[in-house]
Structure 1
Amino acid sequence: MTSSHSRPDWLRTHTCGELREANVGQSVVLNGWVDARRDHGGIYFVDLRDRYGITQVTLTPEQSDALPFSTEFVLGVHGKVVQRENPNPDRPTGLIEVRTERIEVLSPSPTPPIDIIDNLDAAVDTRLRYRYLDLRRGPLQRNLIHRSKFIASIRRAFEDQEFIEVETPVLTRATPEGARDYLVPSRVHPGQFYALPQSPQIFKQILMVAGYDRYFQVARCFRDEDLRADRQPEFTQLDMEMSFVHEEDVFAVWEGVMGRAFRENMGLELPQTFPRMRWEEAMDRFGSDKPDTRFGMELVDLAEWVPTCEFRVFQGALEAGGRVMAIRVPGGGSSVSRGQLKSLESAAKDLGAKGLAWWKPGEEGGAAGPVAKFMDGAVGEELLALTAVDGATTDGDLLLFGADAERIVWRVLGDLRLRLARQLDLLPPATGDGAQWNFLWVTHFPMFEFDEAAGRYFSSHHPFTCPEDETLGGDEPDVSKLVSRAYDLVLNGWELGSGSIRIHRQDVQARVFELLGIDASEQQLKFGFLLEALSYGAPPHGGFAVGLDRLVALTLGLDSIRDVVAFPKTTSAADLMCGAPSRVAPDQLAEVHVAPAGKALERDGSA
């Protein structure tokens, strides 16, 4: 059966980025938006734009007068390709133009509230309110095209390694031990709720039990948490799981996948194997579990040196079971001012430190800093030798000290290290010449972390992570000492994603739940289906998930994921374009058995 509508003659024969000298003499039809319009004394020039590029179109005054149009009108242009008298070498179509024979206005437009230009200076809220206009700009179009191609490369890499893509549910069960869930009320089950998935974690483990030993998915995930530049309430991750594997098998797959994606989309060759570093080493050297290894200034442990120093604060920290550590800032003696040091001290206090001790050796008069008087003679010389980089012991540097509980020392010096690297321009460029792509596997995270506010332990990753010691330390374990088989992939100080070898034995999984304070009845209520599945021949398995929004943003040198997401939310989780979230009519709430705030529903569902 054929359509009753004839094919319109305004349909394009070429895109606005396609025509070249080889097309000179051809009759063509272009469709696009008016990017610019210029009057050059008797001839009119129009730049016609689509996502493929821009082509210059020429009109006579009569043609222009006969059909008024302005920027962002959508046109159908019929004409002939001719050689340009004044070529534009900065444009791929710059050697040709289209001499117009006929123009149709396919859609008019008022004057846009934002300019459709690359270097737009407009408020973020305005850009998000008119996102459909913002998305016409070249940078965003290039970002989203890059994102699409990058994800396509990843997909092909997994398919070539015999992974299959399986979609897991979006409406699922609320589970504890993670961020807050987005809840969806059920109409057919009054008073009950679905949760939107924070990840496909349990389902992909069940796929391993089902025998689908190599799974992947480009998955939408949802977390109701406070937002930052690198977080959105809904996000996309590349999720995978494998059976009958060790950590190194998971690492090898991802090293190949990342290598292919960077090669195909960025023309870069990554190392075949990424470095590995245990969590404790990362914290001791960098004060961070996602260390930026593109520059030095590593933390130095001063435990053996402290007894030679008479500074009581240092000695007291060790006696209390804490740590004393330092970072040495090359040239910081002159490049870091007193005012900047005060700012660093304020930052340290905000992070939990009582203050910030520092020392500038070799200044006029000998030295400077609150601990300078304790650094005379051999004591200071020994410290300089201990903190020297590559054996150098030159003066003119700055030493910053942390003396407190171990976690506070790590947190404070790790943060100051990054602040100073930015402040002193020690970081290489994010992209282009000189850029570095320092991938790192951080492994063997603590199994549990203690939450002071809640007064109990939580899983460092999630409760399905396999412990390094499957006996879990026996009947009375010290949970603070238990180590997991979890791992993160870090790139230039950013956590790309997390994974682990999973618990595949039902008894071990039940024991981990117990250590988290989840008793047998609650285990059955919340995780009964998983425990049952693990009893039916579950294979040893492990997996990983990468946040695609963050990864793509990093490859483009962007600090925020907002410009690689088509329709992002604000930092208050609002969609300014759609006006979401919004209030819902009382009858809609009643249908799903939800009462408006401050009211109760009757048994029949009416308020």
Structure 2
Amino acid sequence: MAESMLGLKRTNRCTEVDNSMIGEKVTVMGWVQKSRNKGGIIFVDLRDRSGILQLIFEESKVGTEGYAKAEKLRSEFVIAVTGKVSKREGGINPNLKTGDIEVIAEDIRILSEAETPPFPVEENSKTKEDIRLKYRFLDLRRPDIQKNIMLRSNVTTTVRKFLADEGFLEIETPILCKSTPEGARDYLVPSRIHPGNFYALPQSPQLFKQLLMCSGYDRYFQIAKCFRDEDLRADRQPEFTQIDMELSFVDIDDVIDVNERLIQKMFKEAIGIDVQLPIERMTWKYAMEHYGSDKPDLRFGIEISDVSDVVKGSDFVVFKSALEAGGSVRGINAEGLGTLPRKKIDALGDFVKGYGAKGLAWLAINEDGTYKSSFAKFMTEEELKGLTEKLEGKPGDLLLFIADAKTSLVLSVLGALRLEIAEEKGLINKDEYRFVWITEFPLLEWSEEEERFVAMHHPFTMPMDEDIQYIDSDPGRVRAKAYDIVLNGVEIGGGSVRIHQNDIQEKMFEVIGLTKESAEDKFGFLLTAFKYGVPPHAGLAYGLDRLLMLMCKADTIRDVMAFPKVKDASDLMSEAPNVVDPVQLDELGISIKPVEDEE
């Protein structure tokens, strides 16, 4: 039967007890990790969020009643124990922070009994994730998950202190907003007071933080909850958290400067990693052409090379047809994989087809300098030599090529292939944190589906000054004052300098096919604010969950969130989303239309 805590006060968490306290009396409280009765002595491992402490129960010290209680203990019982700290007699446990001490119990209270849990509460659990998430309140007791959640708290505390010291104000923006259907789908909330009208949950605080700049709060930040109704991946959730900021009277370098120092502070204080400043910068064009991605993983080499000029006279139909259609031929050097079995090379061919390539051309350089290849018979010796030189090939290397009429496809496929090769060769140092800023993104991208240019980031992103002249004649050429911060091949944050001049903003709306009426309907309150004096401003937002996933070296952001959703955006523990009482629907004027099964 559970007992009261009346008169008891915890003096220490488990690992706050150390060998400097030997002989002192302490009161500790927590969960029973395990209990072992060795006949006359009961050993109990007590666990709290700080770690584990060994307790010793002897009838002569704890009394007959206390010893009887100790005999009842099972995993996950919640207990309070008072006793004396003693040097551990049974040998030091080097795996525990408290491995050289123990507490000799003098009193015990069972605060709560527990049923046998559906899985062991232990580090690196092998239990299936869906079971763990159904019982997330138990999963959250596991030491590795607790470390992640505590690191999350440490990071946000560090961010708040750093930005406050830099003159930023923490200001909350609304959760119930107007729907502005750009980008991902909004989550909608019906209004009872305004029948037939809906709020939207914010995909980001973008418009409100720009309004704050108009209102004179020249440095804003927020640990902001955001919502997007989109398909999930390992690093996506329907609700997520941003470290969001906006600054007035700044340009790109100002934003990058404060954020580099923030990153340095976060990584040093949270995980003891020294980030060297300044962080490397790379243009979007360079990143795409050399790494096939706007979020390149720079922990290894394997850069992409354009070999179109080498093979422009080739009779190999795959290369020839791609070049004649205005495309390109590019390749990577998988160093040391020249002896890869044909079966594995064919598997790489299947891999690239999964990314849209028609096939993979390969050239292995034998140790004697001769070639083994899928296409060598169609090439001259001079062309083979040119390819080898362009990719800096040497005996033992495997050169891999993609050709297509769409250069964007060639680059994206090779970008994926270089990552696959790096994994195959074990080239990725999992202990390295490699940052890079990606700058000079295209302002616009062509949408085949809508047959028009759309904003690559959002329609308030400032073009680069020297490119504004091309916005009418060659919109695809215009670069944006936009920047992403990338860590180990993952985008952890991004932002831009915003448009603050009316003529440029109107031109931007015009280029993306947004009429004045449509722009006013979607963004009217922001455009009205811009009529009353708007400062030059810029901002950036980090995906906090994604950042923490990398800091913790977790496989998924679910491991750094207290109560995450699964792939279908449901919560296995609380069973959300769920049906609601028909009375609630009637109040909102909503009826549910049944979904008919498709034959």
Taking structure 2 as the reference length, what is the TM-score of the superposition? 0.94
Q: 8 Å contact 2:312–2:323 — kept in the other structure? A: no
Contact 2:471 2:478 in 1 (8 A): no
| 1:175 has 2:171 as partner | no
Judge conservation of contact 2:226–2:241 (CA < 8 Å) in 1: yes
Partner of 1:338: 342
Residues 359 and 368 of structure 1 are in contact (CA less than 8 Å); yes or no, is this contact kept in structure 2?
yes
1:473 Cα deviation after fit:
4.3
CA distance in 1, matches of 2:294, 2:403: 20
Q: In structure 1, how many angstroms separate the alpha carbons of the residues matched to 2:358 and 2:341?
A: 21
Determine the C-alpha separation between the residues in 1 that align with 2:45 and 2:472. Answer: 75
Taking a change above 3 Å as real, the CA distance of residues 365 and 84 of structure 1, as seen in their structure-2 partners, is: closer
- Distance in 1 between the 2:73 and 2:309 partners? 78
1:96-115 matches, within 5 Å, as: 96-115=101-120
Equivalent residue runs for 1:585-604 within 5 Å:
585-598=581-594
Residue 514 (structure 1) aligned with residue 515 (structure 2)? no
Give yes or no for contact 2:336–2:397 (8 Å, CA) kept in 1: yes
Distance (Å, rounded) in 1 between the aligned partners of 2:362 and 2:471:
46
Matching of residue 550 in structure 1 with residue 551 in structure 2? no
- Find the aligned partners of 1:471 and 1:278 in 2 and give their Cα distance: 15
Cα distance in 2, alignment partners of residues 345 and 475 from structure 1? 40
Q: Deviations over 1:233-292 (max 9, x none)?
A: 111110111111111111111110011111222222212211111111110001100011
Name the CA distance, whole Å, in 2 between partners of 1:395 and 1:249.
48
Superposition pairs for residues 408-487 of structure 1, below 5 Å? Answer: 408-428=409-429, 430-431=430-431, 436-469=432-465, 472-473=468-469, 476-487=472-483
Equivalences for residues 165-204 of structure 1 within 5 A: 165-204=170-209
Equivalent residue in structure 2 for 1:75, among 75, 79, 95: 79
Matched, 1:52 2:50: yes
- Three-state SS of the structure 1 residue aligned to 2:16 is coil
1-structure distance, mates of 2:390, 2:56: 72
Check the 8 A contact 2:365/2:394 in 1, yes or no. no
2:577 aligned with 1:581: yes
- Residue in structure 1 matched with residue 9 of structure 2 by the alignment: 11
Distance of 2:584 and 2:269 partners within structure 1: 49
Indicate the SS of the match to 1:531: helix
Q: Secondary structure at the match of 1:32?
A: strand
Does 2:233 align with 1:233? no
The 2-side partners of 1:474 and 1:356 are apart by 37
Structure 1 position 450, deviation (Å): 2.2
Q: How far is 1:593 from its partner?
A: 2.2
Is 2:444–2:475's contact at 8 Å kept on the other side of the alignment?
A: yes
Q: Does the C-alpha gap of structure 1 residues 308 and 123 become closer, same or farther in structure 2, counting only changes over 3 Å?
A: same
Matched, 1:398 2:403: no
Structure 1: runs of 5 or more not aligned: 1-5, 600-607
Q: Which moved more, 1:71-80 or 1:285-294?
A: 71-80
Quote the RMSD (CA, aligned, Å).
Answer: 1.9
Distance in 2 separating the partners of 1:365 and 1:438: 35
Contact 1:328–1:399 under 8 Å retained in 2? yes
**Residues 1-400 of structure 1: pairs in structure 2 closer than 5 A:** 8-60=6-58, 62=64, 63-66=66-69, 68-86=72-90, 87-334=92-339, 336-362=340-366, 366-388=370-392, 393-400=393-400
Residue 485 of structure 1: how far off its partner (Å)? 1.2
Letter in 2 for 1:359: L
Aligned length: 584
Q: Note the alpha carbon deviations across 1:410-461, whole angstroms, 9 max, x for none.
A: 1111110111111111111x22xxxx22211111111122232333332111
AA of the residue aligned to 1:322: G
Cα pair 1:447 1:483 within 8 Å, conserved = yes
Tell me by how many angstroms 1:316 deviates.
2.5
1:567 is paired with a residue whose SS is coil
The equivalent of 1:603 in structure 2 is none
| Distance in 2 of aligned mates of 1:361 and 1:30 | 67
In the alignment, is the contact (CA less than 8 A) between 2:69 and 2:108 conserved in 1?
no
Aligned counterparts of 2:24 and 2:367: Cα–Cα separation in 1: 76
Cα deviations across residues 348-399 of structure 1 (Å, max 9, x unaligned)? 22222221111113378942222111344222112211111xxxx4222111
Structure 1 residue runs of 4+, over 4 Å off? 469-475
1:65 Cα offset (Å): 2.5
For residues 95 and 361 of structure 1, do their structure 2 counterparts lie closer, same or farther at Cα, with a shift above 3 Å needed?
A: closer
- Quote how far apart the aligned CAs of 1:474 are: 6.2
Q: Counterpart of 1:37 in 2: which secondary structure?
A: strand
Q: Is residue 82–residue 105 contact of structure 2 (8 Å, CA) maintained in 1?
A: yes
Task: Give the equivalent residue in structure 2 for 1:534.
Answer: 530
Structure 1 position 175, deviation (Å): 0.7
CA positional deviation for 1:563: 0.7
Q: Call closer, same or farther: CA 1:475–1:167 in 2, change over 3 Å.
A: closer
8 Å Cα contact 1:360-1:369 kept in structure 2: yes
Output one character per residue of 1:527-567: Cα deviation in whole Å (capped at 9) or x when no partner.
11111111111111111111111111111222311111111
Identity, in percent, stands at 48
The answer (yes or no) to whether the contact 2:467–2:478 under 8 Å persists in 1 is no
Are residue 559 (structure 1) and residue 562 (structure 2) matched?
A: no
Which amino acid letter does the alignment assign opposite residue 128 of structure 2?
A: A
* Aligned amino acid, residue 82 of structure 1: S
Counterpart of 1:304 in 2: which secondary structure? helix
Residue 319 of structure 1 aligns with an amino acid whose one-letter code is: E
Q: Which amino acid aligns with 1:413?
A: L
Q: Contact between 1:32 and 1:75, CA under 8 Å: does it hold in 2? A: yes
Whole-angstrom CA distance in 1 between matches of 2:190 and 2:403:
50
Quote how far apart the aligned CAs of 1:506 are: 2.4
Give distance in 1, aligned partners of 2:317 and 2:201: 53
Q: Is the 8 A contact 1:10 1:77 kept in 2?
A: no
Q: Which amino acid aligns with 2:37?
A: D
C-alpha offsets along residues 298-324 of structure 1, whole Å, 9 cap, x if unaligned?
A: 110113212353323223222211111
Provide the residue aligned with 1:3 in structure 2.
Answer: none
- C-alpha distance 214-56 of structure 1, shift in aligned 2 (>3 A): same
Q: Which amino acid aligns with 2:311?
A: V
- Identify if the C-alpha distance between structure 1 residues 245 and 142 changes in structure 2 by more than 3 Å, giving closer, same or farther: same
- 1: CA distance, partners of 2:566 / 2:452: 33
Alpha-carbon distance, 1:481 to partner? 2.3
Helix, strand or coil at the partner of 1:344 = helix
User: CA separation in 2, counterparts of 1:26 and 1:497?
Assistant: 49
Q: How far apart, in 2, do the equivalents of 1:349 and 1:144 lie?
A: 40
Between 1:122-131 and 1:310-319, the stretch displaced more is 310-319
For residues 243 and 308 of structure 1, the distance between their equivalents in structure 2, rounded to whole angstroms, comes to 54
